[in-house]
């Protein structure tokens, strides 16, 4: 007997990093599905009304206090939290020996510590109610890393493993944990990175629709597009020399060398402002 789809109408949802890109698309898709959506973002001036969100508030996910205050506001204005979407993320690029140490630390703080902060705060609210759903955005790079994105890939792999452990802890509590692993998503995050013909790229709307899908039909892990899942699993299953061979064949060993720095300048400038906020 198949399980009926969950209705999202009236559900209170908090989306981190909702001002742009994937987060903005998720907020819009969930609003269309009838949810009451609150956006949390470090860059509030960038938030517009195109998502249809109920409201937007300042949030630095790397700060536990900021996350607590944000969710307090969400529950005061909209009601008990039903869903948290851990989406906020940044991607500084560069070879390991050349990357700015502070930028690397900030990436881990936002991408991984931010997910830990949000998940902890959400669980504390959801557990007494015996219900809730937490969705965290990881990346295909957790399985398929490339040159120049080592710190980003590490932080996203951390999100996956953290979510696995959280799912074990929360089994039987009524709280669902899900993790999404998109391939290259066509947002400013990948500006300047050459996306080869046939590469498994997708759009922010594709990720948003997958979020809606797993909220209606809960599952732990989902890839976007779906077809990249076996590729990721296979890459981790083969010996290291084969992974290195595949990196050369796919061009992922030259991501930085072939990057269009002028096309990436806008994102780098905004990223620097985020990195400078400690």
Entry field: residues in the chain: 278
Give the distance, in angstroms, between the CA of residue 162 and the centroid of all CA atoms in the same chain.
13
Sheet holding 55-58, edge to edge: 55-58, 36-41, 12-16, 83-86, 132-137, 175-182, 221-224
Residues 8, 212: Cα–Cα separation, whole Å: 9
Q: 203: burial class by Cβ within 10 Å (0-12, 13-18, 19+)?
A: middle
Cα→Cα distances 81→14, 22, 28, 118, 225, Å:
8, 21, 18, 12, 29
Cα→Cα distances 249→49, 95, 244, Å:
43, 20, 9
DSSP state of 70: H
233 is catalytic: no
Among 143, 152, 233, 267, the active-site one is: 152
Indicate the Cα dihedral angle 48, 53, 56, 61, nearest 10°.
Answer: -110
- The catalytic residues are 152
């Amino acid at each position: 007997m198949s399980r009926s789809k969950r209705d999202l109408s009236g559900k209170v949802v908090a989306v981190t990093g909702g001002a742009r890109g994937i987060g903005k698309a998720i907020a819009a898709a969930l609003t269309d599905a009838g949810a009451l959506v609150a956006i949390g973002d470090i860059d509030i001036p960038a938030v517009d009304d195109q998502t249809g969100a109920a409201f937007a508030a300042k949030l630095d996910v790397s700060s536990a206090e900021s996350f607590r205050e944000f969710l307090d506001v969400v529950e005061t204005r909209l009601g008990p939290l039903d869903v948290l979407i851990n989406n906020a993320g940044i991607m500084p690029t560069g070879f390991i020996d050349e990357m700015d140490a502070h930028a690397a630390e900030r990436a881990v703080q936002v991408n991984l510590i931010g997910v830990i902060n949000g998940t902890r705060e959400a669980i504390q609210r959801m557990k007494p109610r015996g219900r809730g759903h937490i969705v965290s955005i990881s990346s295909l790079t957790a399985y398929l890393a490339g040159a120049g994105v080592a710190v980003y890939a590490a932080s996203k792999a951390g999100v996956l493993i953290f979510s696995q452990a959280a799912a074990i802890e929360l089994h039987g509590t009524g709280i669902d944990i899900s993790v999404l692993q998109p391939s290259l998503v066509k947002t400013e995050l990948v500006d300047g990175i050459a996306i080869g013909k046939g590469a498994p790229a997708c759009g922010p709307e594709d990720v948003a629709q997958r979020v809606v899908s797993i909220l209606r039909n809960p599952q732990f892990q989902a890839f976007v597009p779906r077809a990249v899942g076996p590729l990721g699993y296979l890459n981790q299953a083969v010996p290291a020399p084969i992974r290195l061979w595949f990196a050369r064949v796919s061009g992922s060993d030259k991501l930085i060398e072939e990057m269009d720095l002028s096309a990436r300048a806008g994102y780098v400038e905004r990223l620097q402002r985020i990195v400078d906020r400690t």
